[in-house]
Amino acid sequence: MGSDNMYHPDSFPELKNPPRILLGPGPSMVHPRVLRAMASPLVGHLDPYFLEIMERTQDLLRMVFETQNRLTIPISGTGSASMEASLANLIEPGDEILICINGYFGLRLVDMAQRYGAEIHTIERPWGEIFTADEVRDALAQKSAKIVAIVHAETSTGALQPLGGISRVVHENGGLLLVDAVTSLGGIPVQVDEIGIDVCYSGSQKCLSCPPGLGPITLSPRAEQVLSERKSEVANWYLDLTMIQKYWGSERTYHHTAPISANFALYEGLRIIAEEGLEVRCERHRRNAEVLWQGMEDLGLELHVPLENRLPSLTTVRIPEGVNGAQIQNRLMMDYNIEIAGGLGELKGKVWRIGLMGHSSRLENVTLLLAALGEYLRS
């Protein structure tokens, strides 16, 4: 094969990654210490050394989720895999689920839930708005639901969903609250136990600032009980928590080979959060977002989400009339190696999406972006 032209080594140049400043909806920039952890020599997935790292990683995940939940682990896939794990493990065919849709990821929850045979009810709000507890109460008064699924931080809109009132309503109705915290965990308080979230999932590549590839998930004792009392088998083998928990639990039963290097990286990323302190870290996310918001308004730009519902980790900025949004994105990339993103779904072509997550949430990045945007918009 070596002599075959198509596969001549010269056709496959060495990696020469450009030094991107990642200010899109994720992945965020990865701390050099986390990159170094990715390069740690491998050990086996049942090596006592790795089992120890697994346990400490679970403790650290409990720290960022702010929970005591036993079943708190990283799923061996991206945030979408942990989203699917949440649904696949809790839904049995015919179960009723209420899904709150105010953006792209609400729609994704619907797409996934129907594949597991759920009977789906939905409520909707325009993209960028949020739900009130009363809206959820009214929906549950009309149609009961075993699970209520809602997105805490909508990456497609930049809206932050308050959860306290909704949690009370869901539990008064005997349901389980399932929360997407992909773009909040590690940058915005999620407070799983305080709020009473039953299933919460996230991704490694947003405010946790690790490479994509792991999806932290946590189940409340009540959700665990529902899982253990299933009548039907989980319809998804790779994401079947009844088996996976035996690898992460004391049995250490082989299920699949964990992505070992990604777990080292997650451990290091979570250590950095423990060192900074979760509260301090959330304040930093908020502070840098406020600088961005003020700067955007000073440039005459309009923010899509009103201040009270605005997500510190992801800001949607309306593209002004007469400005070519994609062209500005290209110039940022060409001139400054800065990545920001355009809108998704309903907001395609209407907004830019600017992420300030984890290691990307630094004043130098905000100031540079504002300076560059100012330069382009004035010219």
Residues within window 12-51 making contact with a second copy, judged by CB under 8 A: 12, 14-15, 17-20, 22, 24, 26-27, 29-30, 35-45, 47, 49
Q: Compute the distance between CA of residue 39 and CA of residue 266 in angstroms, rounded to an integer.
A: 12
Region near a second copy per CB under 8 A, out of 126-134, 271-279, 284-292, 315-323: 271-279
Find the shortest distance in angstroms from Cβ 7 to a second copy. 5
Taking CB atoms within 8 Å and a gap of at least 24, the contacts of 91-95 are 91/116, 91/117, 91/118, 91/147, 92/117, 92/230, 92/231, 92/232, 93/117, 93/118, 93/232, 94/118, 94/119, 95/119, 95/146, 95/147
Q: Judged by CB under 8 A, which of 65, 267, 293, 352 binds a second copy?
A: 267
Q: Kindly give, in sequence order, each residue whose CB lies less than 8 Å from that of residue 275, ignoring residues fewer than 6 positions away.
A: none
Binding residues for a second copy restricted to 134-193, rule: CB under 8 A: none
Q: What is the closest distance, in whole angstroms, from the C-beta atom of residue 43 to a second copy in the complex?
A: 5
The residue among 194 and 298 lying less far from a second copy, judged by its C-beta, is 194
Given candidates 63, 120, 301, 372, which one binds a second copy under the rule CB under 8 A?
63
**At its nearest, how many Å lie between a second copy and the CB of residue 40?**
5
203 to 242, contacts with a second copy by CB under 8 A? 203, 205, 211-213, 233-239
Q: Is 5 in the site for a second copy (CB under 8 A)?
A: no
Of 191 and 309, which CB lies nearer to a second copy in the complex structure?
Answer: 191
Closest separation between CB of residue 132 and a second copy, Å? 29
Please select the residue that binds a second copy; options are 126, 144, 280, 335, rule is CB under 8 A. Answer: 280
Task: State yes or no: residue 245 binds a second copy (CB under 8 A).
Answer: no
Q: Pick between residue 9 and residue 300 the one whose CB is nearest to a second copy.
A: 9
The residue within the footprint of a second copy, chosen from 136, 179, 241, 258 (CB under 8 A), is 258
Q: Within positions 310 to 369, which residues make up the interface with a second copy, using CB under 8 A?
A: 339, 341, 344
Closer residue to a second copy, CB minimum distance, 21 or 317 = 21
Q: Which is nearer to a second copy, 238 or 376 (CB)?
A: 238
Q: Which of residues 66-105 bind a second copy (CB under 8 A)?
A: 66, 76-81, 84
Burial of 306 (0-12, 13-18, 19+ CB in 10 A): exposed
Closer of 88 and 179 to a second copy (Cβ): 88
The size of the interface with a second copy (CB under 8 A), counted in residues, is 89
Residue choice 191, 261, 309, 367 for contact with a second copy (CB under 8 A): 261
Nearest to 177 by CA among 80, 86, 66: 86
| Closer by beta carbon to a second copy, 128 or else 213 | 213
Task: Tell me how far, at minimum, the Cβ of 160 lies from a second copy, in Å.
Answer: 20
Please report how close the Cβ of residue 143 comes to a second copy at its closest, in angstroms.
24
Among 255, 318, 350, 362, binds a second copy (CB under 8 A): 255
